[in-house]
Structure 1
Amino acid sequence: MIYISDKSKKLDTYDAIVIGSGISGGWAAMELCKQGLKTLLLERGRDVKHLQDYPTANLNPWDFKLGFNNTLEDRQRDPVQSNAYTPADKHFYVSDADHPYIQEKPFDWYRGYHVGGRSLTWGRQCYRLSDLDFGANLKDGNGVDWPIRYKDIDPWYAYAEKHIGVSGQKENLSQLPDGEYLPPMELNCIERHLSESIKKNDQHRLLTIARVANLTRGWDSRGPCQNRNLCSRGCPFGGYFSSNSSTIPAAMATGNLVLRPFSIVTEILYDEQKQKAKGVRVIDTITSEVHEFYAKIVFVNASTIATAGILLNSTSSRFPNGFGNGSDQVGHNLMDHHASAGASGAHDQFADQYYKGRRPCGFLIPRYRNLHDHENLGFTRGYNIQGHGERQEWSDKVNGLAGFGKDFKAQLSTPGPWTVWMAGWGECLPYYKNQVTLDHSQKDKWGQPLLKIDFAFEDNEKKMMDDIEATCGEMLEKAGFRDVATFNYHKRGGSTVHEMGTARMGHDPRTSVLNQFNQMHEAKNVFITDGSCMASSASQNPSLTYMALTARASHFAAEELKKGNL
């Protein structure tokens, strides 16, 4: 692996600079390197090497001093991050105390500052968007029209799926296009029962196994998945896709990649005469020295909120309100899926059946609302249902049992009834007022303005949550579940960790930041392919779309560079 000396003050020039090493940044680095471009990959956090830097990957539950419980000190120091981490994966999350931000309204911003970013802790769900999604803004007038349609990204979805390895079942649904899949994982008996009941009671609904980047067979020198369900600790088997196990090693193998961790990008540098970016300014987090690096093209993949911050902090006489922000859209239209509402229940059948291993995914019920114009539900767009079925274990029963000794142990160790938990992952509309801004009066320890997040779900999302509760409860009751309980956890924005939209794609430079190739309207050699680019959120988990868009934009950028257009 090649590193730049932390003490060097030399101004280096590359063909390309990629900001951020997470899911989309790793993809950009790999694709640009494979196109023969000398590429600098900048990561603000520490290095994490595949295999050797997963310290808890093979630990047993009893190896943790306090089990999987966070301490009071953890909760006080990390009031946001500690809601997501346990002692098993705490090392892949930032410290809130060291990396503060301002919540204008409650918003949970989960972050991992290290090589690989959140590709080490993501949920691995991989779903394609359809033209129902790409055409939604134009049809109902929310946001701006996507400058692409499904046919434009279809081959790039396939390209990404074939590289990362996605296990799944084809279902031939127009609202959830099929992809290139490895053999699917298997539903267990209670999930199959629910699936059969749904199929019998509503022809427009279907329950299928989740489509995930967990390998059901060896793939590209990785895997297969061991069904340990310890993915967030880092997988020494390469059983799921991450930048660390896949794209960054592939980029390194070309000999064209230079990786520089501990490098906070503070701004993109603009060349007034050439009217394009000329490079980036970086603070070394160890030495606090400032460096400048130059390149012919720049890919910004710092993740949605951080990307907005970099753009807003990159001011010049040409861009007084932030880099490429002539539209005044940078930082606005922030979205996150809501995943608060659903239902659970227990079932008395199948007591003679159990399962083996810990499958690292659940089931999916693809979107079934607002697929047709005649529906009048009181809200626009839709949601999918994600969930899982399992038998109650000792940890589910311990608070409801009393006793001691042999009989008490037998009660605890005897599996309880089968249960299902299911909840809706719902679309959030792109509201201009949901935004990221900079607070120049408050600075971090490197002297950079703090990011301020102002976000709230509105009436459309709340009505959708009510419908999710009702339909989830209905499906469980029709399948014969007892003790059916609907819920709404009223989670804060950011809790689903699907932030997107702060530098949206669009046709018109007056109302959008990027064109159909994720290229900045106002600076042709800058590309943004992380969640910032999304013009709408759809309801599907978005990471596969980021990967496909990144591969597409990287090939376009390399070709344009070769043609002399950048």
Structure 2
Amino acid sequence: MKNVNYINESKEVFDVIVIGSGITGGWAAKEFCEKGFKTLMVERGRVVEHRKDYIAEGKGPWDFPNRTKVDNLLVEEQYKIQKQCYAFHDGTKHFFGNDRDLPYNTKKGTEFSWIRANQLGGKSLLWHRQSYRLSDFDFAANKADGHGNDWPIRYKDLAPWYDYVEKFVGISGNYDNLPQLPNSQFLPPFEMNAPERAFSQQMASDFPDKPVIISRCAHLTEPQKIHVELGRMKCMARNECQKGCSFGAYFSTQSTTLPAAARTGNLHIAPNSVVESLIYDEATNRLKGVRVIDNDNLSQREYFGKLVFLCASTIGSTQILLNSKTNKFKNGLANSSGVLGKYLMDHNYNARTTADIDGFEDEYYIGRRPASLYVPNFHYEPTRYHKNFIRGYALAGGAYREDWQSYGYTDGLGINFKEKLMHPGQWKIGLQAQGEMLANRDNQMTLHATKKDKWGIPQIQFDVSWSDNEKRMMESSVEVASKMFEKAGFKNIQGQATERPPGIAIHEVGTARMGRDAKDSVLNGYNQSHDIPNLFVTDGASFASSAVVNPSLTFMALTARAVDYAVKEVKNRRL
């Protein structure tokens, strides 16, 4: 990448230090660099260069020793947790963290699946790219039903920043004009296939409060000038995304924010630098920089800056704050409220309903579309809550036709079976629930009292469980999806609520939440620490509630807004 200064040792005092290089870190770096700030991005993992380091891109399943299945022994030794992720296979495993070298703990009787991607770009290389705005109902929910602290912002505060990031990212979708799911700045949507269109049309008549729409995702269906200038191209619907995309067709740090930051000449990157703690000056009540440990040789070094933006992921950022103890902040930096590490949330993906679709034998589709069907949350305000739980859930999925890959899991032998492989089979449909997890003080992450990782940093201990509210929500989703399928005339309807552990949705939020009162929150409405003015946390840790929709688009908008605020505060000499 041109104009990037990779550094190791440095005594320079940077205008800003951005910790993390994923979705939020990339955005923070881009915004500061474009505003003329000398920016240091600190990344704990290795450098991954766009195109060059997508080592499995374009390889077919037949090019892998076990058709992309990872060797069982290797999985058990190194990827016991990571293998639970939808994107994990032999062509992507190099982008995942190694569980053997990255241990953590869960309180007895609980489970938590921590999916990690420690490299330049972070999980932006692996995310599922579904992109939705939170609505005013989401921002007002805590106050409306009294569960959780009130968000210090509302939709109107973030709406112009959603506009701003969407134009740069490129979001495909349809203008559905739904109150609970605000429209974005859209590129053309992906198309539904024939059974999906028929299902959507029938549901519009039979269940008007449950619209079936095409999902919204960060893929370029019609690249604009702002995208082409960065070398990005149209999505080819290959569904190879998690291997890395040389087309730059989906949003990642590598394809989008890093090249934008790099072209300013203001970007410096310190890779392989594991942040141990933040350097705090009690006399000025300001951060001075960060202490890091080399990822490879375990040597120690320090970097200095006037501002610190923590963008290391919900869990990563909070771990750094908890480990940055001082005389003033004995329970973690910027933790006068005592809520740091509390209220950990994830989305609840614990129910799926499937069915067979008769007919449409003369219909098929081309490509492997990154979009899906989507049924937005229909319990989006207290007057619409279900009698058995508060808040709500969305449904996502789609229709597909069995092919040779599906038949690989069926019985068969001989000529007839081989002939069967040459023809498409039964149309099927599935919808999976995505439910909101309530903010609960008892759901938390702490630092283990004795166990440390290989860098000498205390390991994290999770204590997180699903509540009865979340469990009843999943049971309801099966009932609702089954009724929709039944009304549509589908056959062999099957649904099940499960209890996979929190974390597996990879939508962790809430451990350094924003709020109006410094007594019950870590950050103000601009993602700025109540306690330490030059500290900002703009990743999912800042969320006051999980809402229902995928959070990454909101991470981006919050980050861009926070940078704008910080820059103005610096220029006005208030920071």
| Residue 389 (structure 2) pairs with residue 384 (structure 1) | no
1:69-107 CA deviation, whole Å, 9 max, x = no partner? Answer: 121122212210122210010011010001111122211
- Paired position in structure 2 for 1:137: 142
| Residue 41 (structure 2) pairs with residue 20 (structure 1) | no
- Paired position in structure 2 for 1:433: 442
| Residue 500 (structure 2) pairs with residue 491 (structure 1) | yes
1:396 and 1:317 map into 2 onto residues whose CA distance is 61
1:96 and 1:479 map into 2 onto residues whose CA distance is 44
1:422 and 1:316 map into 2 onto residues whose CA distance is 49
| Residue 313 (structure 2) pairs with residue 312 (structure 1) | no
- Paired position in structure 1 for 2:292: 282
Shift of 1:200: 1.3
Is the 8 Å Cα contact of residues 447 and 460 (structure 2) preserved in structure 1?
A: yes
CA-atom RMSD in angstroms = 1.2
In structure 2, stretches of 5+ residues that fail to align are none
Shift of 1:286: 2.2
1:21-76 CA deviation, whole Å, 9 max, x = no partner? Answer: 00000000000111111000000000001110100111111101111212112221
Q: How does 1:375-454 map to 2 (within 5 A)?
A: 375-405=385-415, 407-454=416-463
| Residue 50 (structure 2) pairs with residue 50 (structure 1) | yes
Shift of 1:11: 2.6
TM-score w.r.t. the length of structure 2 is 0.96
Alignment counterpart, residue 174 of structure 1, candidates 173, 176, 179: 179
- Paired position in structure 2 for 1:463: 472
Shift of 1:283: 0.8
| Residue 568 (structure 2) pairs with residue 546 (structure 1) | no
Shift of 1:199: 0.8
| Residue 505 (structure 2) pairs with residue 500 (structure 1) | no
Shift of 1:377: 2.1
2:400 and 2:98 map into 1 onto residues whose CA distance is 34
1:166-188 CA deviation, whole Å, 9 max, x = no partner? Answer: 00001111110001000000000
1:539 and 1:5 map into 2 onto residues whose CA distance is 40
| Residue 345 (structure 2) pairs with residue 335 (structure 1) | yes
1:278 and 1:417 map into 2 onto residues whose CA distance is 62
1:349 and 1:123 map into 2 onto residues whose CA distance is 31
| Residue 490 (structure 2) pairs with residue 481 (structure 1) | yes
Alignment counterpart, residue 523 of structure 1, candidates 521, 532, 539: 532
Shift of 1:375: 4.6
Is the 8 Å Cα contact of residues 12 and 292 (structure 1) preserved in structure 2?
A: no
TM-score w.r.t. the length of structure 1 is 0.98
Shift of 1:2: 3.6
Shift of 1:287: 2.7
Aligned to 1:195, the other structure's residue is in SS state helix
Shift of 1:376: 4.4
In structure 2, relative to structure 1, the CA distance for the partners of 1:123 and 1:457 (3 Å cut) is: same
1:549 and 1:451 map into 2 onto residues whose CA distance is 26
1:402 and 1:319 map into 2 onto residues whose CA distance is 66
In structure 2, relative to structure 1, the CA distance for the partners of 1:422 and 1:151 (3 Å cut) is: same
Counterpart AA for 1:58: G
Shift of 1:374: 5.9
In structure 2, relative to structure 1, the CA distance for the partners of 1:52 and 1:370 (3 Å cut) is: closer
| Residue 200 (structure 2) pairs with residue 191 (structure 1) | no
Aligned to 2:304, the other structure's residue is in SS state strand
Is the 8 Å Cα contact of residues 514 and 525 (structure 2) preserved in structure 1?
A: yes
Counterpart AA for 1:476: F
Identity %: 44
1:276-303 CA deviation, whole Å, 9 max, x = no partner? Answer: 1111111111232211111111000100
- Paired position in structure 2 for 1:201: 206
Paired residues in the alignment total 563
1:372 and 1:442 map into 2 onto residues whose CA distance is 44
Shift of 1:413: 2.2
Q: How does 1:45-444 map to 2 (within 5 A)?
A: 45-77=45-77, 78-84=79-85, 85-104=88-107, 105-219=110-224, 220-221=227-228, 222-371=232-381, 373=383, 375-405=385-415, 407-444=416-453
In structure 2, relative to structure 1, the CA distance for the partners of 1:226 and 1:536 (3 Å cut) is: same
Counterpart AA for 1:429: L
Shift of 1:5: 4.6
| Residue 571 (structure 2) pairs with residue 562 (structure 1) | yes
- Paired position in structure 2 for 1:11: 11
Counterpart AA for 1:87: D
Is the 8 Å Cα contact of residues 145 and 382 (structure 2) preserved in structure 1?
A: no
List structure 1 runs of 4+ shifted beyond 6 angstroms: none
Alignment counterpart, residue 537 of structure 1, candidates 526, 546, 566: 546
**Which deviates more from structure 2 when the two are superposed, residues 391-400 or residues 458-467?**
391-400
1:112 and 1:418 map into 2 onto residues whose CA distance is 35
In structure 1, stretches of 5+ residues that fail to align are none
2:476 and 2:558 map into 1 onto residues whose CA distance is 32
Is the 8 Å Cα contact of residues 399 and 430 (structure 2) preserved in structure 1?
A: yes
1:155-205 CA deviation, whole Å, 9 max, x = no partner? Answer: 000001000000000111111000100000000011112111211111211
Is the 8 Å Cα contact of residues 505 and 512 (structure 1) preserved in structure 2?
A: yes
